[in-house]
Amino acid sequence: MSKAFARESYLFYRRLLERAAQGEDMTLVLVTGCEPAQSLVGAKFALKGPEIVDEVIPVPFPSLAELKDVILRTLRGLSSTDVDLGASPTAEIAGGTPSGSDEGDGKGAIGAPKRSVMSTKTRNAGFTMTVEFRGVRIQTYAERLYRQPEVIILGGGHVSRALCPVMKTLGFEVTVVDDRPEFASRTWFPHADRLISKSFAEALREIELGDRSYVVIVTRGHRCDQECLEAVLKKPVAYIGMIGSKKKVEGALSLAKEHGFTDDYLRRIYAPIGIDIAAQTPEEIAISIAAEVIKVMRGGAARSLSDDRRSGFGLTSADASASGSGPAVTGQIYGAKGVSAPVPQAAGTWPNIQKGLEGPFAMATVIWSEGSVPRQPGARMLVLRDGTIRDTIGGGSGEASVRQAALEVIESGRPEVVQIDLTGHYEEPFSTDGSQAKAEEAKAQERLQAEGGPRGPHGTPQGVCGGSFRVFIERLDPDISAQA
C-alpha cells in the first residue's frame, strides 16, 4: 500500500471517531481479505445509519457501487432480522440471489443476500462476514461505534475520590457532582472530566442522561441520596447504584414507594451498591462499584450485594445484566417487568491516534475470536516504529507475535491478518489472500517443535488459554507530507 493510502486511512479514522464522539450513529466496515486478488484489502467504509458517508479505497475497483450496495443490504438484513450489530455474530454472506429464489443474477448486483448467522452469547463490538461478489470472495469486519460511556458520580466524598481515577482508567467519561465547592474541585478530583458544584436537583436537571450513563449515588447523607435516587429513576440510564446499609436502602425504597414509584422502578436499583468482595475501605468499595458497572455493561454474572433484595422482584443477577437497566420503550416504565430493556453495548477500544504520533505506525484490531481469549473483537493497540506499543490486545506471547508482525507491516505497507492460537496447538497462519503454504508450514512446524514446542506465526511461544483470535494489522501515517 502507498504512503498516501496510509495517510488517507489515518484521516478516515480521525473523521470516523470525531463523528461518533458527536453522537452520530456510525458503523465501520473494513475489508480484511480478498480472493483471488488482494486489491481491496484495507478498504474502509463509514456508515451513518444505513448509508455510506465516507470511504477509502486502496485501488480503483470497477464495480465499487454495486459492492457497496451488497454490503449495505447485508448489514441491513443482519441488523433487522438475525442479529443486533453488537451481538458478535460471524456471518457467511453470498451477495445476490438467496437459495430457492428466482430473483437476481447471482452476481451480487440485485436480489437479497443469503446468509447463515452464528451468534455467540458474548456481546462484542464487531463481527466478521464474507461477501462473494462477481467471483471475488471478500472478507470484512464490521463494527458499530458507540459513544464513550459515562459515569455520573453524585457526591464528592472519599469513595467518589477513589472511584474517579478507576473509572477514567476503564475508559469512562467522569462527571462529579457535589453542592459543596471545596469537594467539587480540581484539587480534590484531578482526574474528572467535568465537575459540577450545584444542588443535586439543579445538576440533574441540566445533565443529559441516556443509555450510556452509569449513575453512582454516594452523597453525604440520606436526604441527598433520596433526592438523587428519585430524580434518576425517571431517567433512561444504563445503571443506578446507591451506597448504603441494607437498613438505609430499605428505608429509601419504602419512601420512594410512598412517593409513587412502583416495583418496576425500584427493581432497577443496585443497592447496596457493588460486587460482593467484602470491601471496607473507600478504595476497596470503589473497586467493588467499578466491577458492578463493568458487569452491567458487559452482561456478566458476578454476585452483587443487591442480589438478595432484587430477587424479591423475580430478577437474578444474571437476568439483570442480560436485560440491562436502560429504557425499554419510550413512554413505558424503564425496566418494567415484561418490557425488554436493551442490553448495554460493548464498545471497541480505540487508542488515541490524534496526539503524540509521528511517522507511520501500525494499528492492530482484533476482528475474530473463539474460545477463551484475553480480548474480544474490537480491541486495538498501536505499534510505533520503534516497537513501542499503546494499549493492548491481551499481552503475553500472542501480543508479542502481533507486535512483530506490525513492525513488518510498518515497513512493507501491506496489511496482514495474524491468527494467534492460545490452545497450545499450532494453527496455520491466516493470509489475506486465502493461500496456505502447507509444505513450508509443515517444515516450519517440525523445526519449531524441535526448538521447544508450539510457537506463533513469528516464532513466539504460544499460550494455553484455550482459544484463538485473529488480528488485522494495517499501516497508518499522520505525516501530512506522505506521498504516493
Contact predicate 29/45, CB 8 Å: yes
The pLDDT of residue 36 is 78
Contact predicate 95/70, CB 8 Å: yes
Closest CA to 96 of 73, 75, 118, 62: 73
Amino acid at 398: G
Considering only CA atoms, give the Rg of the chain: 25
pTM of the model: 0.70
Mind giving me the DSSP string for 401-460? HHHHHHHHHHHH---EEEEEEEESS--PPP-TT----HHHHHHHHHHHHHTTS-B-TTSP
User: What Å distances lie between residue 79 and 50, 88, 469, CA to CA?
Assistant: 10, 11, 24
End-to-end C-alpha distance for the chain, whole angstroms: 9
How confident is the model over 198-225, as pLDDT tens digits? 999 999 999 999 888 999 999 998 999 9
User: What Å distances lie between residue 216 and 19, 155, 457, CA to CA?
Assistant: 28, 9, 45
| CA atoms within 13 Å, Cβ hemisphere of 401 | 26
How confident is the model over 88-138, as pLDDT tens digits? 334 443 333 222 233 333 333 222 223 222 222 234 568 888 888 788 888
Where do we find the cell 447463515?
A: 116
Tell me: pLDDT of 283 over 60.
yes
DSSP 346: P
How confident is the model over 299-350, as pLDDT tens digits? 889 999 998 887 765 444 444 443 444 332 223 333 333 333 333 445 567 8
Please tell me the distance from the alpha carbon of residue 7 to that of residue 390, in angstroms, as a whole number: 19
Q: What are the residues facing 131 on neighbouring strands?
A: 93, 138
How confident is the model over 177-202, as pLDDT tens digits? 999 999 999 999 999 999 999 999 99
* Domains of the chain by start residue, with CATH: 3-145 (no CATH), 150-323 (3.40.50.720), 361-476 (no CATH)
